[in-house]
Amino acid sequence: MQIGEGAIRTIISRLKDAGLIKTEKAGCLLTEKGMRIWKEYLTVFKKTEMEKNELTPAEHNFAILIRSHGEHVRSGMEQRDAAIMMGAKSVTTMVLRNKRLAIPSVSNDVANDFPEAAKQTITLLNPQENDAVVICGASDLKKAEYGALAAAWTLLD
């Protein structure tokens, strides 16, 4: 997936407006706020491809674990909306609560209701209490990854 010049300008403008980057003749540099968020990203996110299962019917699936941010998950709609805007076709948001993976308004026990999805999630991401997991499916892997990243960002402070 290639990003056009207009889209790049929009992204740069939004990053500047958010105070995450500054532009100079030499290029773009992270601000102090941008560097703080980047460091948080490195400690908070864990990413991986995921195979098809009961919850991920798309040909290409990508999962992101967001460490210690499960309390930010409400209904999962915010994550769905962000991922769909980036080209994802399917989105599932889970939280590990009381030693069980749960999907808000769908399942309080993913291991029981969706055993293959739970097995893959636990094996690939090793979630801990209060971790959130977003799994996105799309027609190609980059769209699935971008969707998962967009969804994950909705969970950061």
Q: What is the CATH number of the domain that holds 88?
A: 3.30.1360.30
Secondary structure of residue 112 in the 3-state scheme: helix
Residue 157: its pLDDT value, please? Answer: 62
Together in a domain, 101 and 143: yes
143 shares a domain with 70:
yes
Burial 107-138 (b: 16+ CB within 10 A, else e): beebeebbeebbebbeebbebeebbbbbbbbb
Residue 36 covered by a domain: no
pLDDT at 7 (0 to 100): 76
Q: Are residues 140 and 69 in the same domain?
A: yes
In angstroms, what CA-CA distances link 138 with 25, 66, 75, 81, 92? 37, 20, 21, 14, 12
At 5 the pLDDT is 80
Residues 52 and 123 in one domain: yes
* 1 and 78, same domain (yes or no): no
| Segment 45-102, tens digit of pLDDT | 999 999 999 999 899 999 999 999 999 999 999 999 999 999 999 999 999 999 999 9
pLDDT of 9 above 90: no
Residues 22 and 48 in one domain: no
8 Å CB contact between 112 and 104: no
* Boundaries of domain holding 23: 1-30
Q: How confident is the model at residue 3 (pLDDT cuts 50, 70, 90)?
A: low
- Judge whether 35 lies within some domain: no
Q: What is the reported pLDDT for 41?
A: 77
89 and 112 fall within a common domain: yes
Residues 60 and 106 in one domain: yes
In this structure, the answer to whether residues 87 and 133 fall within a common structural domain is yes
Which amino acid is located at 31 in the chain? T
Number of domains in the chain: 2
Is the per-residue pLDDT at 1 higher than 60? no
Q: CA of 133: how far to CAs of 27, 68, 76, 128, in Å? A: 34, 10, 11, 10
DSSP label of 100: E
**38-51 in b/e burial notation, b at 16+ Cβ within 10 A?**
eeeeeebbbebebe
- What is the pLDDT at residue 14? 85
Mean pLDDT (whole number) for 135-145? 95
Task: Report which secondary-structure segment, H or E, holds 29.
Answer: strand 27-30
pTM over cut 0.95: no
Q: Which residue did the predictor score with more confidence, 17 or 4?
A: 17
- 37 is a domain residue: no
User: Is 22 among the domain residues?
Assistant: yes
Residue 143 and residue 72 share a domain = yes
The answer on 133 and 57 residing in a single domain is yes
Q: In a 3-state reduction of DSSP, which class is residue 84?
A: helix
Residue 1 lies in a domain: yes
Orientation of helix 77-85 relative to helix 141-153, angle to 10°: 140
* Residue 38, in any domain of the structure: no
Strands 90-97 and 132-138: antiparallel
Do residues 7 and 87 lie in contact, with contact meaning Cβ atoms separated by under 8 Å? no
pLDDT of 2: 58
50 in the same domain as 18: no
**Bigger pLDDT: 111 or 7?**
111
